[in-house]
Amino acid sequence: MLTRDFLQNADCKTAFGTIEESLLLTSEQRAASLDCTLSRRPDNSPVWVFGYGSLMWNPVFESEEVRPATLQGWHRAFCLRLTAGRGTLHQPGRMLALKEGGSTTGLAFRLPEAKLHEELELLWKREMLTGCYLPTWCDLSLADGQVVTALVFVMNPQHPLFEEDTSHQVIAPLIASANGPLGTNAQYLFSLDTELRNQGMKDDCIGDLVCYVQQWLQQNTSGPVGGEATA
């Protein structure tokens, strides 16, 4: 279970599964990344974080406000080769990221200024194990029309784990087959789809992918095709 306590005490080299040593960021590198990101903070307005995947249902960090939001210029894509967490080196899955183009609906979390660095350190330990994401300051449109500046974790297309081909035919078998210390890759996808539906956020691409993965599971396994995600 990916909890606050788990993250605070996790040994990044072992807690999420086997991560290739050359890809794993050190604690010093993560701290430098966080400091660099905060140095680019556009102004002194509140810091928001955009959740478009598991942050939506399991943020772990503390927030003072949560609002539905839309991000322009980026769309969800399972373009990150997943070799830890919910996959392994020998049975890799696919994890969610953002690729350029289109738009994405999700949740905006306003972080408490008094605990900003503490909460972001936790977030960096979760999202920046290998530096696969680029922490980027973006404008978000909240449901009432207000525009806020938020931290958004977008895919680094230069990262070794980046995968260009995200066609359902390619990624559905990978997602259906992969599992790791945090659970199965399919559970993550199903929980994402459930959360989007609960929030009234339509994403046809995710819904179609769910159908592909469910069909693959039904054809290739005799077990259940659903389940609760833990992260």
Cα 54 to Cα 15: distance, rounded to the nearest angstrom: 18
Please name the residues in contact with 228: beta carbons below 8 A apart, sequence gap of 6 or more. Answer: 187, 191
* Cα 192–chain centre separation: 10
At residue 141, φ and ψ (nearest 5 deg) are -100, 115
Q: Which residues are catalytic?
A: 127
Please name the residues in contact with 181: beta carbons below 8 A apart, sequence gap of 6 or more. Answer: 15, 16, 17, 84, 85
* Cα 121–chain centre separation: 16
